[in-house]
């Protein structure tokens, strides 16, 4: 059952996350598990914990850590916006507190150009899953969108990631080579 306590736990964890503080403690782990369990109960499925996924052979330089795995095809990503904690999601969107999503005929819709879409499509590619439940949860309510893997979107993102990694790696190697040659002079 989702309780006010589990929603408050979500708020506590989000406050730490937004301030850049990472707490890996038994307390924060238990709070996070309560939060995930509350979400699972509301949606009617079991969410399994997962760790860090490393990309396959062609994506070996990328990794992903979704908030949970439902089955061999499905992951979840949960957002609990601290600034909207006391609002309904519809009100938070209407008042521009939540700017990464819209509500279209009563359904949550993540904006395709937002970083969260890139995050989700990357997680789907790296974990080799077909869909993701993108969940937004406040103290007042919860909404979700089932986002399917978009191969064309990912191909473009992957090309940009690969290009970035190659350029960054080459620059680093070039700088190291210059540094090495200057030391031998």
Count Cβ atoms within 10 A of the Cβ of residue 132 and give its class: 0-12 exposed, 13-18 middle, 19 or more buried. buried
| pTM for the full predicted model | 0.72
Beta bridge partners of 131: 74, 148
- For position 137, what pLDDT does the model report? 86
CA angle 17, 72, 162 (to 5 degrees): 65
Q: Which domains does the chain have, with CATH numbers?
A: 46-149 (3.90.320.10)
Sequential pLDDT tens for the chain (185 residues): 344 444 444 444 444 444 444 444 444 455 555 666 666 677 777 888 888 999 888 778 889 999 889 999 999 998 989 899 899 999 999 999 999 999 999 899 999 999 999 999 999 999 999 999 999 988 888 899 999 999 999 888 888 877 777 787 777 777 777 777 777 76
Rounded Cα distance, 66 and 149, in Å: 14
Residue 22 confidence (pLDDT): 43
């Amino acid at each position: 059952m989702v309780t006010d306590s589990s929603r408050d736990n979500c708020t506590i964890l989000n406050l730490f996350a937004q301030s850049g503080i990472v707490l890996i403690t038994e307390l924060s782990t238990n709070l996070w598990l309560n939060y995930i369990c509350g979400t699972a109960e509301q949606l009617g499925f079991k969410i399994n914990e997962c760790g860090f996924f490393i990309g396959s052979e062609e994506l070996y330089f990328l990794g992903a850590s979704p908030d949970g795995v439902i089955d061999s095809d499905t992951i979840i990503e949960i957002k609990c916006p601290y600034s909207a904690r006391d609002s309904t999601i519809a009100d938070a969107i209407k008042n521009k507190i939540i700017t990464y999503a819209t509500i279209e005929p009563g359904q949550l819709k993540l904006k395709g150009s937002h970083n969260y879409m890139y995050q989700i499509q990357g997680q789907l590619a790296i974990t080799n899953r077909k869909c993701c439940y993108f969940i937004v949860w406040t103290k007042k309510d919860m909404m979700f969108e089932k986002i399917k893997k978009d191969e064309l979107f990912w191909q473009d993102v992957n090309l940009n990631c690969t290009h970035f990694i190659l350029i960054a790696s080459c620059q680093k190697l070039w700088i190291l080579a210059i540094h090495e040659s200057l030391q031998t002079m």
